[in-house]
Chains A and B, each alone.
Chain A
Amino acid sequence: MNYAGMNAGSLTFTASLVVVALGGPSVLDTFQVLQLSAYSSLALGVVGLAFVWGILGILSLGHAAFFGIGAYAYAILSIAQGESTFAVAAAILAPSVLAVCLGYFLFYGRVGDVYLSVITLCVSLILFSFMNSTADVSYTLLSVPLGGFNGISAVPPLNWPGFVGDFLTPEATFSLCFLLLAAVYLALQFLRGTRLGRIMASVRENERRCELLGYDPRWLKLVGFVISAAIAGLAGALFTANTGYVGPTVFDLGQSSQFILWAIAGGMGTLSGAIIASFMLQFLASFIGTSQLFNTSLVFGTVIIFFVYALPNGIVPSLQGLLRKLSRLARRQRRRPEVIGDSIKSTP
């Protein structure tokens, strides 16, 4: 296992994200640019979950709560102000504040793992239920109607900071989304290798031992939880900026379970895996959705069963294992003549 955090693999992965960010717009058509921008913002959401789950061992089943609050915060503020800079900041801040409050009670109250998952899930479902019942025109925030199950539409895209009305082109948004994804990935990967990150991993491995060594696991978990919530909030803001719409479904079970599915498929403990899996499965979802052959939920149910049974380590760790096996095989092939000689000699 590599503890360096920043290794050749993670730097290569970051570099490829940057290449996509800068080179993508010149080879892709506008539809693909828009589609991939939306995909990348969901990928950003899952990388935060992969961090808090894979490194700290906290299964936040309701990660959509933070994503959704970020999405709504962006929608409301960008409409109210006509400017997106403060809206993005608020989309990061609001879920972080919720994560601090929620995390304080969960971790300092020593709520067990399973209950923690259930509570986070309930929080997102409560928000879903609440947002669904705000259809009446009297429900407004900063004079922006919340819209109930219809959601908020015509949300303005991102604009250059400080320049009202000077919107980013879809291509610029695409580049920004991928660069942010690369930056967050790299920052989290860097964090893993630091002293703090390594101690966080020890919380996942054995919380009691970590505590008996003199570290406070409650604090470490809270920090990680808030980091992942902030990332999810940013992801929500970018998603809404890309699609121009936010509705209560950002809080629903489907959204939360999608994040979980991507993190599992990508491989627990890897951040790049979650990103790769999220893109693959989003393409799959959109393919199934457009071809209308199967029910998407049915296919995803099958996919999750497949991963749990056939590739329990997830895509990236399984590929790494395969590569290691192949290179060992290649080395053995080079030495084969001697090996055969030995085995003949040793046969009685």
Chain B
Amino acid sequence: MTAMIETVGLTCRFGGVVAVDNVSLKIEEGELRCLIGPNGAGKTSLFKCLSGQVQPSGGRVLMKGREISRFHPHEIARMGMAIKMQVPSVFNGLSVHENVWLAAARLHRGKALEAIVDETLSAVGFRSAEAREKRADELSHAHRQWIELAMLAACKPAIALLDEPAAGMTQDEMLRTVELIKTINRSTTILVVEHDLEFISLLARKVTVLHQGKIFVEDTMSNISNNAAVREIYLGKQWRMAQ
């Protein structure tokens, strides 16, 4: 079986800084993979390479066996990749409904389109017409994250990249986000970057640790959390406190 996403020796340099260094990553269809790593480990750069926002300096990105690293972001999106950015990237001046409508409008028309928008908005808790008419920039950070997740879900992507989907959320909001992501995962392969370890332990089966642009280790969450070397580079004090 060909992997949903595979990178072969992917490298991304910004001047003298090697943000992503010879990364070979393989994510199977239907998987929910977590990517962790300390600040500056190259997680966001890796996402930008995968989605075509940054041209890799070397190596290849394959999606279902097809080389995609030379395509434009909108072409990669059309092949079935959706991304939630680290800083919520929504249409600030437009209404909540319009945001999700725009995401769904590429693939759907007419009644089916309205049905998808309604369904996706309800899934993230925007049920009333009043809530849907609000402008995106009037919403809280957590709600904007959800709108972006709803936009992503409305695209019905084959693979979704989520960059810190639970950042700045309360415990309840975080738990709800976990449920949302699990729902999306029923039909979509997901690669998620997070710092919140509780969030990751609730979600992930398999975790990849990135360190200084390289893959440090790849294992289950329980093994990762017992891995002394990982603890040293990343989990460190915070994890011991959580214990």
Contacts and interface: CB of A to CB of B under 8 A. Distances in A.
Contact of A211 (B77, B90, B91, B103): B77
Contacts of A211: 72-74, 77
A213 B155 contact: yes
B94 A201 contact: yes
A205 B73 contact: no
Interface in A197-236: 198-199, 201-202, 204-206, 208-217
B191 to A, nearest CB: 15
B94 A1 contact: yes
Contacts of B77: 211-214
Given A206-B92, A209-B91, A213-B151, A195 B83 contact: no
Nearest to B94: A205
A160 interface: no
Interface residues on B, range: 20 to 34
A105 interface: no
B95 A1 contact: yes
A198 B78 contact: no
Interface residues on A, range: 20 to 34
A205 B93 contact: yes
A287 interface: no
Contacts of B89: 206, 208-209, 212
A211 B78 CA distance: 10
B53 interface: yes
Contacts of A206: 89-92
A130 interface: no
Given A1-B95, A3-B98, A198-B98, A213 B90 contact: no
B91 A202 contact: yes
A205 B105 contact: no
A198 B91 contact: no
B106 A213 contact: yes
B153 interface: no
Contacts of B91: 202, 205-206, 209
B183 to A, nearest CB: 20
B126 interface: no
Contacts of A216: 72, 74
B49 to A, nearest CB: 14
Given A208-B53, A209-B90, A212-B82, A202 B74 contact: no
B103 A213 contact: yes
Nearest to B154: A213
Interface in A303-331: none
A272 B91 CA distance: 24
Interface in B44-98: 51, 53, 72-74, 77-78, 82-83, 85, 89-95, 98
B13 interface: no
Interface in B86-143: 89-95, 98, 101-103, 105-106, 135
Contacts of B85: 212
A212 B90 contact: no
Contacts of B105: 195, 198-199
Given A205-B92, A206-B92, A211-B74, A199 B98 contact: no
B105 to A, nearest CB: 6
A212 B50 CA distance: 12
A215 B95 CA distance: 19
Contacts of B51: 212
Contact of A198 (B74, B82, B92, B102): B102
B101 A198 contact: yes
| Residue of B83, B89, B105 with most chain A CB atoms under a 10 A cut-off | B105
Contacts of B101: 198
Q: Closest 8 interchain pairs by CB?
A: A214-B77, A205-B91, A214-B78, A211-B73, A211-B74, A209-B89, A214-B106, A216-B74
Given A1-B93, A209-B90, A212-B82, 18 more contacts: A1-B94, A199-B105, A201-B94, A204-B93, A205-B91, A206-B89, A208-B73, A211-B72, A211-B73, A212-B74, A213-B103, A213-B106, A213-B151, A213-B155, A214-B74, A214-B106, A215-B74, A217-B74
Interface of A: 1, 3, 195, 198-199, 201-202, 204-206, 208-217
23 contacts: A1-B95, A3-B98, A198-B105, A199-B102, A201-B94, A202-B102, A205-B92, A205-B94, A206-B90, A206-B91, A210-B102, A211-B73, A211-B77, A212-B73, A212-B82, A213-B74, A213-B82, A213-B102, A213-B103, A214-B155, A215-B74, A216-B72, A216-B74
